Amino acid sequence: MKILRRYFLKEFFRFFTICLLSVSAILVIAEFFDKFDEFYTNKAPVYLVVQYLLLQVPRSILIASPIASLLSILFTIGMAAKWKETLAIRASGGSLKRFFSYFLALGIIISLCALVFGETLAPIATSRASWVRNTQILKNESRITFREGMLWLKGLDGSLIRIRDFVEDKNRILKVSIFEFSPSFELTRRIEAAEAEWIDGKWELKNAIVFDFENDTVTAHDSFTFFGLEEPNIFREEMKKTGEMNFKELYHYYKRLERAGFKNNRYVVELYGKLAQPLVNFVMIMFGIALALNSRWGGGIRAAGLGLVVIIVYLMVFAVSISLGNTGTLPPALAPWISPAIFCITGSYMFLKIRE
């Protein structure tokens, strides 16, 4: 049995490598055609296009790994069933459940690797790819500097602006400090505001205090209009996206917004999705084992077709649960776990029903 188990593991890793590389390549090619107009319009050098696409590979691998896990186990067991190897295990008195339980342990290992990969290399590479696209290909100058947990940028009027956070869905910025200087770079005025909101094409500072150093006065304003800051899109373009943050970074960002009184369900869904997504590798392997051993579809194209159907159903359930989580119909922390839980429960039931 040990020799046969090593043979199956070898076959699984062979199929897994092929599937992982193939699906990842498809995702990278799709990204290339999606951004082709930008590359062509901006006459991007080939080396920059290649660099951008290579930086998309870690993210693509992370997305492709559950698909590769499912297809690999279906191919492995499907081919074994086709050549009557599973029948030989039964005939020798072996238990199929016990024999293939080693793949469940393998699924846990792959899930842990995906978790570490998703918290380290993938967000760094995705963030770097975004920088290459914005600054090197689109030739957009970086207007925001991130320093000591704050955002720094130059205002339209030449002032220096410090911002703590940007609330994307509300078009608000929190904890604003504005420093205005004379031509000789002497500080002439400082404005401190608890927050600012984009209203009718301008920023309205709330609970603002203006320190006028030229006239030596201090005035307080419930609302103060400021025209020196660009529209909210500057933050959407240059701030880190959720896919460019690891769990810790996104958690701290969400908590800062929550303490300021702003809650965004999408951030909670994305946060717990970073934990749920790696687990899908284990779920797909378990579901694939149960499905392959309870069907007579065999390997090859039939296994691929069966895997494609499962993937489509999973993505449909996932999309619905995420949408319900974003709108608050489902608890946002629960939404990313719905589809893995459904497939895990279904796979467990089917696994127990495997005929010995």
Measured distance CA(337)–CA(282) in Å, rounded: 13
Same-domain status, 192 and 296: no
In this prediction, residue 1 carries a pLDDT of 61
Residue 257 and residue 96: Cα distance in Å, rounded?
51
Residues 82 and 117 placed together within one structural domain of the fold = yes
Instruction: Kindly state whether residue 164 falls inside one of the protein's structural domains.
Output: yes
pLDDT of 303: 67
Q: Is the pLDDT of residue 298 over 60?
A: no
Diameter over CA atoms, the chain:
96
| Overall number of domains in the chain | 2
Considering the domain architecture, whether residues 168 and 268 belong to the same structural domain is answered as: no
Domain interval for residue 36:
2-135+263-352
Question: How many angstroms separate the Cα of 27 from the Cα of each of 22, 187, 311?
Answer: 9, 51, 15
Distance CA 165, CA 238 (A): 13
* 338, part of any domain: yes
Query: How would you classify the pairing of strands 144-147 and 150-154?
Result: antiparallel
Residue 247 lies in a domain: no
Asked if residue 48 has pLDDT above 90, the reply is yes
Q: Say if 238 falls within a structural domain.
A: no
Determine the 3-state secondary structure of 84 from DSSP: coil
pLDDT confidence bin for 275, thresholds 50/70/90: very high
Are 126 and 272 in a shared domain?
yes
> Is residue 153 one of the residues assigned to a domain?
yes
Mean pLDDT in residue range 326-332: 93
- Same domain, residue pair 116 and 162: no
Together in a domain, 168 and 76: no
Q: Which residues neighbour 100 within 8 Å (Cβ) at sequence distance 6 or greater?
A: 77, 289, 293
Structural domain ending residue among the three candidates 229, 254, 278: 229
- In angstroms, the Cα distances linking 146 to 156, 172, 238 are 19, 18, 10
* pTM recorded for the entire structure: 0.84
Same domain, 17 and 63: yes
- Please tell me whether residues 109 and 206 are part of one structural domain: no
Q: What number is the average pLDDT over the span 228-254? A: 88
pLDDT at 319 over 90: yes
Q: Are residues 149 and 287 in the same domain?
A: no
Q: What's the rounded Cα separation, in Å, for the pair 148 and 236?
A: 20
Residue 245 has what pLDDT? 92
* pLDDT band, residue 77 (cuts 50/70/90): confident
* Whether residue 91 has pLDDT greater than 80: no
* Domain end call among 177, 205, 229: 229
- Residue 234 has a pLDDT of 85
Q: Indicate the pLDDT class of residue 106, thresholds 50, 70 and 90.
A: very high
